[in-house]
Amino acid sequence: MLPENLTAIVARNEVWTGDSATEPYECGWAREAIVFVRALKAPRGALPKARIEISADGMHWAAEGSQFDLPATENAVTFQRLGHFGNFVRVAASLPEGSEITLLVAWHLKA
Amino acid sequence: MNPPNSQLDDMRRAIREADPRLSRFDPLPRIICLDDFDRGMCGWTQLVGNYEHSLDAMLPGYAQHSHAMLSTLPNWDFGSHGGVDGSYALKIATRPKKGAQNVAIKRLTFRKAGPIRIETYFTFKPEATELELSETDIRSFGFLYDLQVGDSHGTGGERVMPHLRFLNAENGVHLQKWQFKRKTTPIKPIGTAGKTITHYHLSPEDWEDLPGGAQRLCYNEIPTKVNWHYLRFDFDLATMQATGFQANDRVFDMGAYEPIRMPAMRNLWCMLNIGFFAETDTDKRAFAYLDSVCLSGDF
């Protein structure tokens, strides 16, 4: 059987302001991951870097160290590759006051 | 039903009972799918709401959904729990907001309008964010079909949506009873092309108690331990009526059970969708887990 290969949409048309994060995604079976972030509408204000966070239990989070740009224009796509990440992953960002982005976030995971 | 053929039935039963993957199920003669989540997602995906032109058109009840996960049921205090006979189960997680729901769905069609049987080993628990028993944090775990007659049915054909949920608790009250619903929300057109509609069949209103449907399930003693439960639901696609329901050792009378019914829609012929859902009663994530699912039919 071919190894598991999954695209999981974890945020769809979600509006991020302030401290925001995707819902925890449990994927300890995956050896590698890439997360794609697409802006569904034109973002407003200055955009910070997004960061990857990892967790053993889905409740207590640590910054994994990877940071990447949020998409700056409507339908622009950014991504981050990830390996060796344990069981739970999420994308988080802290947007300054007045900034806003509407997102589609897709994890692509491979065993 | 097919005419009985006791020799064939005996042989089929002997083969199945010798197979550990099948021996814990009681399938009808033909297995449509046996989904063991140790093999992957097995065709279970996210229930996304209808839309046209913009995702803003999606009803909020569907917009909150996210993708199911392959889970080892990991816990902060002792680690992975595992499934009935393997490492993985399908995990359906809500957001941490009172009343939030999430659904995992599998989309099929049927080849004969006859009896079908769904069986699963399931469990549920809240996210263990507090060192408390939390037995009333989950509102419900449930199951639904989304069915429609074939295109040769003629006038009067229906789309039929049998729903069944275990109402564990509501507003902190531990209720522990099975419920069904026969009403959905009013049909709402989506977009401008006149081709798409939506309705929210999992709205919190209009659930009715299944007579005799009170049941105390094993919950265990802290919010990180789970026990697996067995569920079987029988439905006849010919009459579009429920014919049986069992949860663990209890068999329930389905005489009063009714599904949601509406006129057939123009593009859903022979639809056979299966969904499982979780619903939280607190600002805490609810987790429903399926170890395995067996869908079988008599054809």
What does the block give as tokens for B289? Answer: 């887990």
The partner residue sitting opposite A9, judged by closest CB among B39, B46, B88, is: B46
Proportion of chain A above pLDDT 90, given as a percent: 98
How many Å is the Cα radius of gyration of chain A?
14
| CATH code assigned at A50 | 2.60.120.1110
Q: In sequence order, what are the residues at sequence separation of 6 or more whose Cβ sits closer than 8 angstroms to the Cβ of residue B144?
A: B161, B162, B163, B164, B201, B202, B274, B275, B276, B277
Is the Cα torsion angle B35, B75, B277, B169 positive or negative in sign? Answer: positive
d(CA B207, CA A6): 35
Confidence of residue B196 (pLDDT cuts 50, 70, 90): confident
pLDDT in tens, B155-167: 899 999 999 999 9
- At B52 the pLDDT is 87
What distance lies between CA B220 and its chain's CA centroid?
22
- At B184 the pLDDT is 87
Contact B70 A29 (CB under 8 A): yes
A42 lies within 8 A of chain B by CB: no
Average pLDDT, chain B: 95
- At B2 the pLDDT is 62
| Res. B216: pLDDT tops 80 | yes
Confidence of residue B185 (pLDDT cuts 50, 70, 90): confident
pLDDT in tens, A23-74: 999 999 999 999 999 999 999 999 999 999 999 999 999 999 999 999 999 9
CB B200, CB B215: distance < 8 Å = no
| Res. B70: pLDDT tops 60 | yes
**Complex ipTM more than 0.90, yes or no:** yes
Proportion of chain B above pLDDT 90, given as a percent: 84
Interface test mutation site (partner B, options A1, A2, A6, max chain B beta carbons within 10 A): A6
| Res. B260: pLDDT tops 60 | yes
Distances (CA, A) of B60 to B65, B200, B203, B237: 9, 9, 11, 31
Average pLDDT on A88-111 reads 98
What's the structural domain count of chain A?
A: 1
Interface test mutation site (partner B, options A14, A29, A88, max chain B beta carbons within 10 A): A29
| Res. B258: pLDDT tops 70 | yes
pLDDT in tens, B125-172: 999 999 988 999 999 999 999 999 999 998 899 999 999 999 999 999
Proportion of chain A above pLDDT 70, given as a percent: 100
Contact B93 A23 (CB under 8 A): yes
Average pLDDT on B20-40 reads 95
Average pLDDT on B104-121 reads 98
Q: Which of A74, A22, A11, A38 is nearest to B63 (CA)?
A: A11
Per-residue HEC secondary structure of chain A comes to CCCCEEEEEEEEEEEECCEEECCCEECCCCCEEEEEEEECCCCECCCCEEEEEEECCCCCEEEEEEEEECCCCCCCEEEEEEECCCCEEEEEEECCCCCEEEEEEEEEEEC
What does the block give as tokens for A99? Answer: 């900034």
The partner residue sitting opposite A27, judged by closest CB among B48, B63, B69, is: B69
Residue B296, beta-bridge partner list: B31, B117
**Would you say how long chain B is, in residues?**
299
Q: In sequence order, what are the residues at sequence separation of 6 or more whose Cβ sits closer than 8 angstroms to the Cβ of residue B32?
A: B108, B116, B295, B296, B297
Average pLDDT on B249-256 reads 98
What does the block give as tokens for B223? Answer: 């919010």
Distances (CA, A) of A54 to A60, B172, B292: 8, 32, 28
| Res. B4: pLDDT tops 80 | no
- At B97 the pLDDT is 97
- At B36 the pLDDT is 97
- At B96 the pLDDT is 98
Confidence of residue B1 (pLDDT cuts 50, 70, 90): low
- At B226 the pLDDT is 95
The partner residue sitting opposite B63, judged by closest CB among A13, A24, A26, is: A13
What does the block give as tokens for B273? Answer: 């969708």
| Res. B289: pLDDT tops 80 | yes
In chain B, residues with a C-beta closer than 8 Å to the C-beta of A6 are 40-41, 70
Which domain, by its residues, includes A59? 5-110
In chain B, residues with a C-beta closer than 8 Å to the C-beta of A56 are 74, 76
User: How many CB pairs below 8 A link A and B?
Assistant: 58
Average pLDDT on B110-123 reads 98
Q: In sequence order, what are the residues at sequence separation of 6 or more whose Cβ sits closer than 8 angstroms to the Cβ of residue A33?
A: A27, A81, A82, A83, A85, A89, A107, A108, A109, A110
d(CA B281, CA B204): 11
| Res. B292: pLDDT tops 80 | yes
Phi-psi region of A75 (alpha: psi -120 to 50; beta: other; left: phi over 0): left
Query: Regarding beta strands B207-214 and B173-181, do their DSSP bridges make them parallel or antiparallel, or are they unpaired?
Result: antiparallel
